[in-house]
């Protein structure tokens, strides 16, 4: 039940209200980017602490993999995807439907 508390759209910490976002976290080496799709607070750094890992994206090999259950659970609980993540997910779901 602790995890459900984390998924609330707003977390009140020190009089600040944090929103949860689904965004890309960069890993990999120089000139070889690799991104993890993660659930994070909106004010945390790009490579900061994430709450949950949802999937990954490899732009060099054009690979995209994510757990649909984790993704839709986070979206239903009020997390907002960034524009890039929204585009990647939409493109992936459109390709899978054919």
Residue 78 token pair: 């009020």
pLDDT of residue 5: 55
The rounded percent of the chain whose pLDDT value lies above 70 is 80
- The predicted model gives 5-27 an average pLDDT of 67
List, in order, residues 6 or more apart from 79 with CB less than 8 Å away: 7, 9, 20, 21, 22, 39
Tell me what pLDDT residue 7 has.
52
Rounded CA-CA distance 61/69 in Å is 24
pLDDT at residue 57 in the model: 96
Domains of the chain from N-terminus onward = 2-97 (3.30.1320.10)
Asked whether the predicted pLDDT for residue 83 surpasses 80, the reply is yes
Among residues 36, 40, 35, 37, which one has the least CA distance to residue 7? 40
């Amino acid at each position: 039940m602790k995890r459900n508390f984390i998924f609330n759209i707003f977390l009140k910490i020190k009089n600040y209200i944090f929103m949860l976002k689904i965004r890309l976290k960069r890993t990999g080496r120089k000139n070889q980017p690799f991104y993890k799709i993660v659930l994070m607070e909106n004010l945390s750094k790009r490579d900061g602490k994430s709450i949950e890992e949802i999937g990954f994206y490899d732009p060099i090999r054009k690979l995209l993999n994510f757990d649909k259950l984790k993704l839709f659970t986070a979206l239903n609980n009020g997390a907002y995807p960034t524009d890039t993540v929204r585009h990647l997910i939409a493109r992936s779901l459109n390709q899978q439907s054919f």
